[in-house]
Amino acid sequence: MGVLNVTPDSFSDGGRYLDAGAAIEHGARMLGEGADILDVGGESTRPGAEPVGAEEELARVGPVIEALAAEHPGACISIDTQKAAVAEQALRAGARLVNDVSAFRADPAMAALVATSGAECCLMHMRGEPRTMQRDPRYGDVIDDVKAFLYERLQFAVREGVSERVLLDPGIGFGKTLAHNLELLRRLGELLELGRPIVVGTSRKSFIGRLAADSRGLEEPLGPEARLPGSLASAVLAYERGASVLRVHDVAPTRDALTLAAATLGAGWTAPSTATRQTS
């Protein structure tokens, strides 16, 4: 899943794809690099982010989704929003998946919209809301708490008529400390017991920059662009523990990392019949 932030203030690429033309081009590039899903968002959820109105959010993502869906009919376009009004227009414009980081809690109309539209959805765990979520988050056992939350949200979605089309996400970085994020990754396999595909979004997140800085004895966390090696390591670890979808900013390097992981673990790699070169 390639991340396409049509925002001025996203934590790692804010402003780069706010122009619709630049966003459409970047989306096409990520599809060319091997993304199966494009997750288009018009509102940042970084810690401390201010909410955006539905009209503004729609003005950002609508034209981008419409163009990408028309030009790449085989691609799955996802709308990253907590608002039913935005999701509804995005689905009309060609999106097929609703990625709701509030897991149907922010907008009472969202579950019914997803149920009636036939769209897929991704429900994510978040402690609190983006403005305040990183203020001293605490859990009993982080995996048990996240799992119980996702189970409850899945039951709710099923009751609302969404049934089989639900992906679940532990919400790395959403109301979690560095230790919580690492524990979630380490024990990700326990979430498979929920019986739904698991989505993981570690890409460029601040815990990766913090960990790398600590290991180098640096005061400041590494910036988002320098977090690629850690992002790739976390993608491989999540894949190895059973994640089905990896939400990433750097599609081509992630694809290469996962190709190696899949070939090593024996899933999904066969030698191309035309390969003649020796490898070492």
Q: Which residues bind ligand HH2 (CB under 6 A)?
A: 3, 5, 7, 10-12, 41, 44-46, 80, 99, 101, 122, 124, 169, 171-172, 199, 201, 247
State in angstroms the smallest separation of the CB of 107 from ligand HH2. Answer: 16
State in angstroms the smallest separation of the CB of 237 from ligand HH2. Answer: 15
The rounded radius of gyration (Å) of the Cα atoms in the chain is 18
Helix or strand (DSSP H, E) at 186: helix 178-186
Q: Which is nearer to ligand HH2, 26 or 247 (CB)?
A: 247
Selected catalytic residue, list 83, 205, 210, 227 = 205
Tell me whether residue 34 is exposed, middle or buried, using C-beta atoms within 10 angstroms of its C-beta: 0 to 12, 13 to 18, 19 or more: middle
Q: Which is nearer to ligand HH2, 89 or 102 (CB)?
A: 102
Is-catalytic flag, 205? yes
| C-alpha–C-alpha distance, residues 248 and 270, integer Å | 25
Selected catalytic residue, list 127, 147, 210, 247 = 247
HSE of 175, CA atoms in CB hemisphere, 13 A:
20
Is-catalytic flag, 83? no
State in angstroms the smallest separation of the CB of 220 from ligand HH2. Answer: 19
Q: Which is nearer to ligand HH2, 8 or 161 (CB)?
A: 8
Largest interatomic CA distance in the chain: 58
Per the CB < 8 A criterion, the answer to whether 192 and 269 are in contact is: no
Question: Catalytic positions, please?
Answer: 205, 247
